[in-house]
A and B are shown apart, each in its own frame.
Chain A
Amino acid sequence: MTKQVRQLDRVVIRFAGDSGDGMQLTGDRFTSETAQLGNDISTLPNFPAEIRAPAGTLPGVSSFQVAFADYDILTPGDAPNVLVAMNPAALKANLADLPRGADIIVNTDEFTKRNLARVGYDSNPLEDGSLAGYSLHPVPLTSLTVNALAGFDISKKEAERAKNMFALGLLCWLYSRPHESTIQFLRQKFARRPEIAQANIAAFQAGWNFGETTESFAVRYEVKPAQMPPGNYRNITGNMALALGLVAAGVRSKLPVFLGAYPITPASDILHELSKHKKFNVTTMQAEDEIAAVGAALGASYGGALGVTTTSGPGVALKGETISLAVALELPLVVIDVQRAGPSTGMPTKTEQADLNMALFGRHGEAPAVVLAACSPADCFSMALEAARIALTYRTPVILLSDGYIANGSEPWLLPDIADLPDLTVTFATEPNGPDGRFLPYLRDPVTLARPWAVPGTPGLEHRIGGLEKADKTGDISYDPANHDFMVRTRAARIEAIPVPDVTVDDPDGTARVLVLGWGSTYGPIGAACRALRQRGLAVAQAHLRHLNPLPKNLGQVLRAYDRVVIPEMNLGQLAHVIRSRYLVDAISYNQVRGLPFTAAELESMLEEVLKNV
């Protein structure tokens, strides 16, 4: 039977199932196939808070959302057009996010009385008409898979477990995705158990064939490749990009990289990834706590390595005293904060951007540090290099903010040429720099205002540094009032003077009167909202900050060029506070702290209101 093929410009699919159903893997594979096809993509996983919540329950639902399109997209989509629900819990947990008319593919085998009761369904939603507004595709995924694998010498349980590959095969058929890389992937993943590999491949193919033959799918879809800049691409998550950026920083600086870290969600994956890259002279240390982690990183920096520590908000709180020490010692240190919802343990698997205040101000004394924020998964790579560049050049702690949304979300990344990456070569001090052959550890470079980096082992430069206030130039302990005043101001001034790129404004026809200013992971949703408004003929400008301290020098001028400035943040207005106090601009602060990224739709309607009133 030949099926009708329909063209779409954009599709959002959410794979949802029990934690044990392999939904993350299914989503990953679908994403990979989609990327091969040249669509632009954006993904967002949603992990259950518990490691092994009881099977079939609402807290045990794990999902993976992927958006793909024939144009460049900025977010994984506000709402899915397609939900794949592997059990009643997955249906129940996700239904509210679906617009009417969306496709729902359900695994009917799991809709047993017991499973329905477990999540509080009094009647079977597949039969009671409650899903009438949707396009429902009931598929007995488990039994079809088990039947398809009847000839394999594997247990029933193993056969059942391949149902996610059946679902993947079906979806690949439905959206005309290629499947070579999945077959190759399965061969590799189960290389040591060829029988399992074959069974999974067979399940995948059975799913594909099922689509081809069943009546329940009359139409097949295509999404044409997007126009993207030429080059080699790979799909990348923010955490992976941070790890690769740090490896690249080591290569480009020719320094050993030392990561001190203590496991914490959602930052642990950076530690896991970096620990695989020892061949690049990257040392990872899982320390006894966050304080030791940053201490060891600072000790490594003192010895001439690039010291890095990665954590989330609670860890940054513990590291504060050592970051202040790094401010006083004026040594390079990269601190990465993958933010999560707080306060306290908060919602560790949920996103938020409420650590900005802590990054900017969360230390004792006048302790200025550089603060940066990545705006998308792929941007994490560039920002890791930028953090290293500033830390190494200006001998200062740099706090780089990411968050759970971009840490686990992914997008295509145009792979850079190594030669185009910034040159991070450093020069260590080798000679005394003072009159009479003395070494002055706090005699500054006239341009960067950085002090010399004199690593132990350098003859003739023996010196002592520490957290006690130091006399200008000599670095000797000093309680002199005027010296302290001078040193405090110098530390502030040298950070403020670090050159950072001007902020650019996206204002296509130059007529906008309202500017939306963002930072961090809100880049995607804000951008998508602005585009939607422009498509409707409404002018709005977007500017996004990646440098939060020091701020771009042109920011004041940019802000004053607009009648209204709106600052959406996943906190209660932390950047807005800075902007208002620093530039005396009466910015509108728009906030949401639900542990979820903004949807483009909510920003669009909020901005529409603002536009009406200018």
Chain B
Amino acid sequence: MGKTLFDKIWDSHVVSHEEGFPDILYIDTHFIHEVTSPQAFNGLRERGLQVFRPRQTVATADHNVPTINQHLPIQEELSRLQVDMLTKNCEEFGIELYGLGHRYQGIVHVIGPELGVTRPGGTYVCGDSHTSTHGAFGAIAFGIGTSQVEQVLATQCILQPKPKRMRIDVNGSLQKGVGAKDIILYIISKISAAGGTGYFVEYAGDTIRSLSMEGRMTICNMSIEMGARGGLIAPDDITFAYVKDRKFAPKGEAWDGALAYWKTLYSDEDAEFDKVLSFKAEDIAPMITYGTNPGMGMGITENIPAASQFDKQEQQSYLKALHYMGLDDNKPLLGHPVDYVFIGSCTNSRIEDLRQVAAFMKGKHKADHVTVWVVPGSKQVEIQAKAEGLDKIFEEAGFTLREPGCSACLGMNEDKIPAGKYCISTSNRNFEGRQGPNSRTFLASPLMAAAAAVTGRVTDIREFDLEEVG
């Protein structure tokens, strides 16, 4: 019987397989950041251990960092201490750090691919659930807790029970104005925030194949929002073209060898999956979430579901969510006022996202009452955006282009949405208080966020002429 892509990569990384024990899996590169690593380094010190393979560990500061005046010391004391701690730990243990001000600094899931560290066939972990992003390259990548960060620092391996495999096919042509973010929000709305728990998902089908690497990363990024530990997409020419010539990508003969190997990375035709789901691209409208988990999403012209359609247990949680959001059931969301627009996060802050928003905004201006933050995913994205003049377009549109970091996706720095305010956000989570205490989040694509910035309310992107946007 054939093997799935997931099994091919997993099996090639098993260090030890013993009956009654989880597999010991080798990790090619371990990404670390300031928030989930300090306790792991303390653990190493208590054990008297060194980092096992410091060259296979890549560090950056992203979660906590301010997105203005990055050249100045961090104002907020606890954030500064945490970032300083990362610097100290990296120095002591010999780890390469792309810290604040470094030209490679940025959101960990943006810089890995951008630097050519993330490659097909590799295994990647990080103390961050959106590590699933790297799966877009045909790799096994997943988020881990701090005890496991310590484990990987100490051994370059992880103890991990093997998950089940799911394949999600999306076939057909997308409507104008519908993109990768809508595809993944649609899938999660259909299978729920827990529908993928226990699985690793392979995304397949001609719609997925047609996506750019940026789009594929958006899809894999949100695998965790349906509970799946990770998602992956078989590599193809689009993948290879993206990786080629990047800073740490293999060069010369090593490239040829790598490419030959990467071309073997696909699920065999007779490979068996534990579950297969299928969706039609034509059924996907521009999406928006109305609730407090990413599964609570709908097509933009739909009504918020009626509470009566849930059973008693679910209804209690459902009404709590709508109450938090200040919304009524069985009503449309279209036209609802928004106060903030956040374009950023490891889901949608890559150069392609910024280009798309800029192309749409050219000659348009934001509504007066709306505050718009555009936060690039990395220093390189910021530099590129400026080189292309996107910063000028944003400025003319009344948007602020900030400096790279996780920013208002989780409000660990100063970029918080005030209590009671509505933010349409290109990030990945609409949990209660995620963007600041009592803030209210509508998740959507970069284009939908830009459209809402223009009108100041929740808007169907299809109302605009999209010829220029592509």
Task: Tell me if chain B binds chain A.
Answer: no
